[in-house]
Chain A
């Protein structure tokens, strides 16, 4: 175990800004991408639904 306390953990030996700046931005990107993809899938399925209705109306 490297850390005596929570504060020590967050300060990262004085490099907190650099270490957390790297990890948090990475985490934010990895969390945002699946959310954006879920929204894209929803839009695609809505368009597909519209396509189905057009197809039925034409038939």
Chain B
């Protein structure tokens, strides 16, 4: 037990996590490519046409995974930010910063694909409905987090200020998730639930889950790529960074 603890803390420092992250990136990228290809195959060639929505429903295969990831990544980002606030470790804040842009991208893609799905099914690209509005708030929380980081010159102060913002914003995630239950929304209810049978064909559900795994693997790969750049940018003056056998060429 004590051995394991020591190992975890060893990887808590940038100089030991940097090479580990570098070794993990190709594996997660490969997993993302394989599951992504499988997911697209199921989405277009296996899943049947929907009886009510025709082919328009196929947007679900990017919309739902992107929405899930935008929420999951926010929680993961807030956990790292909170850990950094409590333990004052350098790596935690860097991990939180590395996740934010990818989370913002998925929040944008959720809104974008939702708008393109809303037009043919509801007759409008946008409506100020609880689900859509709270997802838009999530997108702005990501942007606010990144803007706050960029606005404060001292990185350690920026870490703490943005961590507080990230933690306060966590309140919004359950609001998004339960908005379709709490309010009378135009948006449909949850597609997947642990407490009842799925409301869709098994192949549709499988396609959605495979795409979600692909987005997860992708997110881990790009977050690790980004955290490595953040480490180099922040620790360029340290011995471990200078002694790296890596160059731009």
**Min CB gap A24→B, angstroms:** 10
B233 at the interface (CB under 8 A from A): yes
B55 and A13 form a contact (CB under 8 A):
yes
- For B102, the chain A residues whose CB sits under 8 A away are 33
Given contacts A18-B116, A18-B120, contact A48 B236 (CB under 8 A): yes
Distance A49 CA – B120 CA, assembled complex (angstroms): 53
B109 and A29 form a contact (CB under 8 A):
yes
B229 and A37 form a contact (CB under 8 A):
yes
A33 and B54 form a contact (CB under 8 A):
no
Distance A14 CA – B55 CA, assembled complex (angstroms): 8
Given contacts A33-B105, A33-B222, A42-B248, contact A22 B242 (CB under 8 A): no
- For B66, the chain A residues whose CB sits under 8 A away are 26
Task: Tell me how many residues of B have a C-beta within 8 Å of chain A.
Answer: 41
Complex: chain A residue closest to B234, CB-CB: A44
User: Is the contact region of chain A dominated by helix, strand, or loop, or is it mixed?
Assistant: helix
**Min CB gap A18→B, angstroms:** 4
Distance A46 CA – B120 CA, assembled complex (angstroms): 49
Task: Tell me how many residues of A have a C-beta within 8 Å of chain B.
Answer: 34
Q: For chain A, residues 4 to 52, give those with C-beta under 8 angstroms from any C-beta of chain B.
A: 9, 12-15, 17-19, 21-23, 25-26, 29-30, 33-34, 37-38, 40-42, 44-49, 51-52
User: Is the contact region of chain B dominated by helix, strand, or loop, or is it mixed?
Assistant: helix
Complex: chain B residue closest to A48, CB-CB: B236
- For A23, the chain B residues whose CB sits under 8 A away are 59, 62
Distance A15 CA – B248 CA, assembled complex (angstroms): 45
A22 and B44 form a contact (CB under 8 A):
no
Distance A26 CA – B67 CA, assembled complex (angstroms): 12
Given contacts A37-B222, A41-B225, A49-B247, contact A22 B45 (CB under 8 A): no
Partner of B56, one of A18, A29, A30: A18
B242 and A51 form a contact (CB under 8 A):
yes
- For A3, the chain B residues whose CB sits under 8 A away are 45
Given contacts A2-B45, A26-B62, A33-B222, contact A45 B56 (CB under 8 A): no
Give the top 8 A-B pairs by smallest Cβ distance, nearest first: A13-B55, A44-B232, A22-B113, A45-B248, A15-B56, A12-B55, A18-B116, A13-B54
Given A37-B222, A47-B232, 17 more pairs with CB closer than 8 A:
A1-B45, A12-B55, A13-B56, A14-B55, A18-B119, A19-B56, A22-B59, A22-B112, A23-B62, A25-B109, A29-B108, A41-B228, A44-B233, A46-B248, A48-B246, A51-B242, A52-B242
Binding site for B on A (CB under 8 A): 1-3, 9, 12-15, 17-19, 21-23, 25-26, 29-30, 33-34, 37-38, 40-42, 44-49, 51-52, 55
A-B contact pairs, 18 of them (CB 8 A): A12-B55, A13-B54, A13-B55, A14-B54, A19-B56, A19-B58, A21-B116, A26-B62, A26-B109, A29-B108, A37-B222, A37-B225, A37-B226, A40-B229, A46-B248, A47-B232, A47-B236, A49-B248
